[in-house]
Structure formats: structure tokens, C-alpha cells
């Protein structure tokens, strides 16, 4: 009996240590150089696309592309327990002028054309894609804003939400796909100030290079004038 409790204690300790290691997993891993690492696409996944989306006021269809999601659930049968797979063929969600999900790419198609082009030809994980309709109505500049991960910053061999989140812009056609946040800086948040046609955003830099973003690191404050055809990132100091 004592041995039994001893084994249970060891299992619990191991679980606690494992959870602690998971929590403390760094977002950035520094090697000989601080160059951003880009991984190859995972060819073991099954890639599918949702039905196309046309955002109001635009002349483009957007095809969300992502991995087929298979969920395994246990179901009790008469002669024991069997495993049943639930397959989800939906990979994105649509809000007002915003597409969300865990998307491998977006593909764009002009409504009067059969040609489809990808947003990116490199592995990325798109979390949100937002059409700035109010800016388009006022300036006729049709801008999309993306939050995504674009590199394996923690060097675990895959691009996922454990890596640094970045900010990108593009035209509504998917062209001019441009990174506007600095490399190795985590996007904190962004906000559109409609009266000034400005996109404000904050990033945090791992200045002590401990692999984590915390209170000891430095926040950077930036904005972009979306009324301009050229997306120039300008810094400002509110504090």
C-alpha cells in the first residue's frame, strides 16, 4: 500500500513539473543569431478551404484556407469503449468585416475573374483578418489588417500561437502584403482611430532576452496614416 501511494505521489509531482514547464515555455529562443526562423509547411495535415466570403463593399472573394480538424471523443459501447472521430469542415468564423480562425492562408479572387491568388507563399498562421470599411469609405484605400504568426520564434519546429504574434497589412486584393510590426516584437493590441484614419498599435520587446514578455520589457507605441498610399510606421511617446 505504501508503494502504491509512493507511485501516486511521483505521478502528481511529475504532472506539476510538466505543467510548470508548459507555462514557462518561452515565446522566443535565442541562438547564435537572432534571425527569424521560418519553418516548412506541415505536409501531414489535410488542407481544406471554406466557401468564399465577399465582404460588403468589396469586389473580391476571400477563400479561407486551413487544416481539416479531427476531434477524437470516447463513447461507451455495449462491449467496452470505442473511439469515434468528429470531423469539422469549418475552419473560419465571420464577424462584421472580420474573419477569424487558425488559418494557413487566405486566397483572393476578383469577382469577374476565375484567377485565385494566395495572400502569402510562406507558412503563416492567420488569427484575424479585418477589413477597414470606414477607412475605405472615407479615403478609398481598401486596407486589410492581419494578426498572425509568421515564424518559429521559439524554435520548436512549428508555427503556432506559442510564437510571436505580428501585425500585417494588405490591399483588399491581398496584394502588398506587408509586415508593419518589428521582428521579435510581440503585438499587444491595435486600434483604429477613424477621425484621423490612423491605425495605432503597441508591441513589446524582450529587452532582457529571457524569452518571455513581462513587466521588465519595453513597450513600443506606433501608428500608421491609412489615408496615405504608403504605409509608414511612425513611433510616438505617450509616456
Cβ atoms of residues 188 and 147 within 8 Å: no
Mean pLDDT of 215-238: 96
Q: Global pTM?
A: 0.81
User: DSSP code of 140?
Assistant: -
Rounded to 10 degrees, the C-alpha dihedral 19/167/180/214 comes to -30
CA distances to 20, 72, 165 from 161, in Å:
18, 22, 7
pLDDT at 38: 54
Pick the residue with more confidence: 144 or 215?
144
pLDDT above 80 (res 78): no
Backbone region of residue 16 per phi and psi (left: phi > 0; alpha: psi in -120 to 50; beta: other values): alpha
Tell whether the model's pLDDT for residue 16 goes beyond 60: no
Provide the pLDDT confidence category of residue 10 given band limits of 50, 70 and 90.
very low
Q: What is the pLDDT of residues 89-126, one digit of tens each?
A: 899 999 999 999 999 999 999 999 999 999 999 999 99
Q: How far apart are CA 23 and CA 177, in angstroms?
A: 33
The beta-strand segments (E) located in the chain are 47-49, 60-67, 69-77, 80-88, 92-95, 98-103, 105-110, 117-118, 125-131, 143-149, 166-171, 178-179, 185-193, 198-205, 218-225, 233-235
SS3 call for 53: strand
pLDDT over 50 (residue 79)? no
pLDDT tens-digit map of 22-39: 455 778 877 755 555 555
Domain regions of the chain by residue span: 92-235
d(CA 187, CA 184): 10
Q: How confident is the model at residue 7 (pLDDT cuts 50, 70, 90)?
A: very low
Amino acid at each position: 500500500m505504501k508503494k502504491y501511494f509512493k507511485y501516486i505521489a511521483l505521478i502528481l509531482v511529475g504532472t506539476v513539473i510538466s505543467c510548470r514547464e508548459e507555462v514557462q515555455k518561452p515565446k522566443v529562443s535565442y541562438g547564435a543569431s537572432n534571425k527569424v526562423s521560418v519553418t516548412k509547411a506541415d505536409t501531414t495535415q489535410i488542407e481544406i478551404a471554406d466557401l468564399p466570403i465577399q465582404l460588403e463593399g468589396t469586389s473580391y472573394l476571400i477563400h479561407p484556407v486551413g487544416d481539416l480538424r479531427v476531434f477524437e471523443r470516447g463513447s461507451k459501447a455495449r462491449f467496452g469503449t470505442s473511439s469515434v472521430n468528429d470531423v469539422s469542415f469549418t475552419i473560419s468564423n465571420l464577424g462584421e468585416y472580420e474573419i477569424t480562425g487558425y488559418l494557413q492562408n487566405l486566397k483572393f479572387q476578383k469577382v469577374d475573374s476565375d484567377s485565385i491568388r494566395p495572400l502569402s507563399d510562406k507558412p503563416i498562421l492567420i488569427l484575424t483578418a479585418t477589413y477597414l470599411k470606414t477607412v475605405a469609405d472615407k479615403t478609398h484605400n481598401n486596407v486589410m489588417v492581419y494578426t498572425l504568426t509568421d515564424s518559429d520564434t521559439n524554435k520548436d519546429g512549428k508555427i503556432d500561437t506559442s510564437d510571436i504574434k505580428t501585425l500585417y497589412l494588405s490591399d483588399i486584393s491581398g496584394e502588398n502584403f506587408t509586415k508593419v510590426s518589428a521582428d521579435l516584437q510581440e503585438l499587444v493590441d491595435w486600434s483604429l482611430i477613424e477621425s484621423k484614419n490612423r491605425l495605432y498599435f503597441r508591441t513589446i520587446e524582450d529587452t532582457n532576452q529571457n524569452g518571455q514578455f513581462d513587466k521588465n520589457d519595453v513597450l513600443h507605441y506606433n501608428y500608421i496614416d491609412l489615408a496615405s498610399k504608403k504605409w509608414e510606421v511612425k513611433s510616438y511617446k505617450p509616456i
